[in-house]
C-alpha cells in the first residue's frame, strides 16, 4: 500500500525487513571484529559477504547502479561509496563501512564509522557525534511526526558542535528497493515534509564532516569525499515506524 508515494509495509513484509535487518546487525559484529591494522578492505568485503550469505541473505549493493562490491569502505576524508580494494587499513584511520542485505526481496541498509588503532581526540569526537546525531534523528521517527522532525533533530545536534552536515547525500525510504521515497535529509525544519505512519521503513544516515559540508566525487566515479579534504564520519540504521516509536532493525 502506498501513502503519498511512500510504501506502507504489510505485516509479512515487515517480518522480511526485520530479518534483513537482523542479519546485517549480526554481520556488522563479524565485520567489526575483522577490522585491524593490516587488513585490506577487499578482505573486509569478503568477511561481510560470507556472513550474510551463510545466514541466507544476498548482498544489497553488489551490482546496484553498477557498484562492484558487497560493502562500501570509505577512509578518512572519504564520506561514502568507497570501493573495497587492496588498500590496507592503518592505525589512525577513520574507516566508514556501509553495508546491506536482501531477504525475500527486502533490503536493509546500515553504516558505521570506527577509529582504527590509535586515533586523536578530534577523530573520536567526530565519530561519537555522528553516532549521537543518528540517535537524535531516530528519536523523532515516530507515527504522527514528519520527516522534517528527523532532519531538524540531526541538525540541531550536529550543527552547534561545528560539524559540516553533508547535504547532497541523504537518508531514504527503504523496502523492495534500497532507495525509496521519501528522502530523509539531515537538515531541515521540524513539522515539515511527509507524515510518518506506522509500517513505513526508513534509512536514517547522518554524515558529518570536520570541515565544510560540501562534497566532491573522485575519479573512480564512486568515492565521495569532503571538498576540503577534512575528515568525515557516517552512521546509518534502517528503522521501522511502529505505534510506539521507531524499531531499529539493523542494530541491537
Query: What DSSP line would sit under 76-103, residue for residue?
Result: TTEEE-PPP-SPBP-TT-EEEEEEEEEE
> Binding of Mg ion at residue 109 (CB under 5 A)?
yes
C-alpha Rg value of the chain to the nearest Å: 17
Beta strands in the chain (DSSP E): 2-3, 6-7, 58-59, 72-75, 78-80, 94-103, 106-115, 164-165, 171-173, 180-184, 201-204, 207-209, 215-217, 224-226, 232-234, 237-242, 245-248
Q: Which stretch binds Mg ion (CB under 5 A): 26-34, 98-106, 219-227, 239-247?
A: 98-106
The residues facing 2 across adjacent strands are 7
Q: Which stretch binds Mg ion (CB under 5 A): 30-38, 45-53, 196-204, 226-234?
A: 196-204
112 vs 213 by CB, closer to Mg ion: 112
> Binding of Mg ion at residue 237 (CB under 5 A)?
no
Q: Which stretch binds Mg ion (CB under 5 A): 107-115, 129-137, 140-148, 215-223?
A: 107-115
Q: Which stretch binds Mg ion (CB under 5 A): 36-44, 116-124, 201-209, 227-235?
A: 201-209
Residue corresponding to grid cell 565485520:
31
Backbone φ and ψ for 126, nearest 5 degrees, come out as -60, -45
Smallest distance from Mg ion to CB 250, Å: 9
Burial of 24 (C-beta count, 10 Å sphere; 0-12/13-18/19+): buried
Q: 168 vs 147, 186, 187, CA distance in Å?
A: 17, 10, 11
Smallest distance from Mg ion to CB 19, Å: 18
Residue 155-194 contact track with Mg ion, rule CB under 5 A, x = bound? ----------------------------------------
Options 77, 98, 180, 237; binder of Mg ion; rule CB under 5 A: 98
> Binding of Mg ion at residue 203 (CB under 5 A)?
yes
Size, binding site for Mg ion by CB under 5 A: 6
> Binding of Mg ion at residue 19 (CB under 5 A)?
no
Angle between helices 121-139 and 147-158 (to 10 degrees): 160
Smallest distance from Mg ion to CB 226, Å: 18
91 vs 168 by CB, closer to Mg ion: 168
Cell digits of residue 234? 557516517
90 vs 179 by CB, closer to Mg ion: 179
98 vs 180 by CB, closer to Mg ion: 98
62 vs 90 by CB, closer to Mg ion: 62
Smallest distance from Mg ion to CB 205, Å: 5
> Binding of Mg ion at residue 27 (CB under 5 A)?
no
At 50 the three-state DSSP class reads helix
Q: How many CB atoms lie within 10 A of CB 2?
A: 8
Smallest distance from Mg ion to CB 84, Å: 14
Burial of 6 (C-beta count, 10 Å sphere; 0-12/13-18/19+): buried
Residues at the contact surface with Mg ion, assessed by CB under 5 A: 98, 109, 111, 203, 205, 236
Amino acid at each position: 500500500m502506498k501513502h503519498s508515494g511512500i510504501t506502507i509495509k504489510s505485516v509479512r513484509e515487515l517480518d522480511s525487513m526485520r530479518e534483513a535487518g537482523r542479519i546485517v546487525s549480526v554481520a556488522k559484529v563479524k565485520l567489526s571484529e575483522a577490522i585491524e591494522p593490516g587488513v585490506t578492505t577487499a578482505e573486509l568485503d569478503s568477511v561481510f559477504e560470507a556472513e550474510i550469505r551463510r545466514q541466507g541473505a544476498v548482498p544489497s549493493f553488489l551490482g546496484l547502479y553498477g557498484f562492484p562490491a558487497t560493502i562500501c569502505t570509505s577512509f578518512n576524508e572519504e564520506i561514502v561509496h568507497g570501493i573495497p580494494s587492496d588498500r590496507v587499513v592503518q592505525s589512525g584511520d577513520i574507516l566508514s563501512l556501509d553495508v546491506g542485505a536482501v531477504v525475500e526481496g527486502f533490503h536493509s541498509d546500515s553504516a558505521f564509522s570506527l577509529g582504527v588503532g590509535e586515533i586523536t581526540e578530534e577523530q573520536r569526537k567526530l565519530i561519537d557525534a555522528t553516532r549521537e546525531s543518528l540517535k537524535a534523528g531516530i528519536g523523532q521517527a515516530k507515527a504522527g511526526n514528519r520527516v522534517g522532525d528527523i532532519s531538524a533533530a540531526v541538525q540541531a545536534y550536529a550543527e552547534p558542535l561545528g560539524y559540516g552536515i553533508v547535504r547532497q547525500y541523504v537518508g531514504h525510504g527503504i523496502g523492495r528497493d534500497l532507495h525509496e521515497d521519501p528522502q530523509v535529509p539531515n537538515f531541515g525544519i521540524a513539522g515539515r515534509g511527509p507524515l510518518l505512519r506506522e509500517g513505513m521503513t526508513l534509512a536514517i544516515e547522518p554524515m558529518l564532516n570536520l570541515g565544510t559540508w560540501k562534497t566532491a566525487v573522485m575519479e573512480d566515479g564512486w568515492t565521495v569525499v569532503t571538498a576540503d579534504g577534512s575528515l568525515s564520519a557516517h552512521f546509518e540504521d534502517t528503522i521501522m515506524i511502529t505505534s510506539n516509536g521507531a524499531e531499529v532493525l539493523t542494530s541491537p
